[in-house]
RNA sequence: CCCGCCUUAACUCAGUCUGGCAGAGUGGUCGGCUGUAGACCGAUUUGUCCCCCGUUCAAAUCGGGGAGGCGGGACCA
């Protein structure tokens, strides 16, 4: 039974630090709190869904969940003015609600507590436990403007560690890009007498063009994309035949479609073999690698299924 | 506080010395070839030349002032 919980929580995860600690936490009697923080900036996309769904899975394992709308973090990382970021924060809360997080989910706006004296002292203490090099390297995958980092970007990881301590977080959820920040947080918090968090890292999705996802490059699927736009984006996605490595379309099956549909059915023209069904990703992946499944059929199926996943979310968002 | 260098398309940069239609590569878009995309081929697209003032028939280019970035120096009773 504990195993079932653990298996579910580990689904799709890139790594957990550490798995033993995670299993022990899920096993424990005491209430634990998990959180993920998001910089409110830009449209919500499939990458965000990955961590959000993990939070939902944690909720169903009896874990309390906090979604941190990290407005000050976004500000420190040069994502816009506080005014613009504030608007995004309200939008994000709407989106996350539409995704199906439980009613008990706590949405916390960073600036609501991150300016308290106690919190500030925590940052300053963390600053004494953290070398400049370490802080800077921790931001490698997160920083906007990595060339000429500003001091605010060194404060950023300290605040992330402070959040974990201040909010008494047991499990920190994030993309694998958060890894170095989380490791810093684990060490620094521990040396200051706090409980180190268990960290669950989700994979970072490739963009549809197989490059890094970026809203400015339009290579991602946003929750608000129309069904037509999803079709077009998937149609123009990079998808070399028989190649499973670094294939963004296969990623959609692995991380989104198979976890949600017991049976995945792909339509093909009769002359190319007609309809075919899969019950596990690995089978589909093997067929694709063997050239038994054509990229176009793979794409057409992906577009239909992704629409089924994103459509209901979009509907809720557009309702008001 | 002082000195030097840098700022031009979405990105990387050339052009500045010696003033004369705003450029290249990459990217984007469209088409061809593929039962997808990419690659390849063809076409096409993009500007506050950091800002202000001045000189000039004419300024990205010269002069003055300012902003931002980078590097160094100085200070270290």
Mean of per-residue pLDDT scores for chain A: 92
Express each pLDDT in A79-109 by its tens digit: 888 888 999 999 999 999 999 999 999 999 9
Q: A187 and A95, same structural domain?
A: yes
CATH of residue A85's domain is 3.40.50.620
Buried b (16+ CB within 10 A) or exposed e, A97-130: ebbebeeebeebbbbeebeeeebeebeebbeebb
Rounded average pLDDT over A236-258: 95
Residue A65 lies in a domain: yes
As a whole number of angstroms, the distance between CA A31 and CA A148 comes to: 42
Rounded average pLDDT over A134-143: 90
Q: A52 and A143, same structural domain?
A: yes
CA–C1' nearest nucleotide, residue A149:
B69
CA–C1' nearest nucleotide, residue A239:
B37
Q: A176 and A122, same structural domain?
A: yes
- In degrees and rounded to multiples of 5, residue A255 shows phi and psi of -95, -25
As a whole number of angstroms, the distance between CA A109 and CA A171 comes to: 19
Which of A175, A202, A229 is where one domain is finished?
Answer: A202
Domain span at residue A87 reads 2-202
Q: A89 and A49, same structural domain?
A: yes
The number of folded domains in chain A is 2
Q: A190 and A233, same structural domain?
A: no
Q: A256 and A166, same structural domain?
A: no
Q: A16 and A125, same structural domain?
A: yes
Measure, in angstroms, how far nucleotide B34 C1' is from residue A235 CA: 15
Residue A115 lies in a domain: yes
Measure, in angstroms, how far nucleotide B61 C1' is from residue A147 CA: 29
């Amino acid at each position: 039974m504990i195993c079932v919980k653990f298996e579910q929580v580990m689904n799709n995860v890139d790594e957990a630090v550490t798995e033993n600690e995670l299993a022990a936490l899920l096993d424990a009697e005491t209430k634990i709190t998990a959180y993920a923080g998001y910089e409110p900036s830009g449209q919500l996309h499939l990458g965000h869904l990955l961590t959000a769904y993990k939070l939902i899975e944690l909720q169903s394992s009896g874990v309390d969940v906090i979604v941190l709308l990290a407005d000050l973090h976004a500000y420190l990382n040069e994502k816009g003015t506080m005014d613009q970021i504030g608007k995004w924060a309200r939008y994000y809360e709407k989106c996350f609600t539409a995704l199906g997080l439980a009613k008990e989910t706590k949405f916390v706006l960073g600036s609501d507590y991150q300016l308290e004296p106690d919190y500030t002292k925590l940052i300053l203490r963390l600053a004494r436990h953290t070398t400049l090099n370490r802080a800077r390297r921790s931001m490698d995958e997160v920083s906007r403007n990595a060339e000429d980092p500003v001091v605010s970007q060194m404060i950023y990881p300290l605040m992330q560690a402070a959040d974990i301590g201040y909010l008494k977080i047991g499990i920190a959820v994030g993309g694998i890009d958060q890894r170095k920040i989380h490791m810093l947080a684990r060490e620094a918090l521990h040396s200051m007498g706090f409980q180190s968090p268990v960290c669950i890292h989700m994979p970072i999705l490739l963009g549809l063009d197989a490059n890094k996802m970026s809203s400015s490059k339009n290579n991602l699927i946003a929750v608000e994309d129309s069904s037509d736009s999803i079709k077009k984006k998937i149609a123009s996605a990079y998808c070399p035949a028989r190649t499973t490595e670094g294939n963004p379309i296969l990623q959609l099956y692995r991380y989104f479609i198979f976890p949600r549909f017991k049976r995945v059915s792909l339509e093909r023209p009769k002359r190319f073999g007609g309809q075919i069904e899969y019950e596990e990703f690995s089978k589909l992946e093997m067929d694709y690698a063997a050239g038994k499944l054509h990229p176009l059929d793979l794409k057409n199926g992906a577009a239909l299924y992704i629409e089924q996943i994103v459509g209901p979310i979009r509907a809720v968002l557009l309702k008001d």
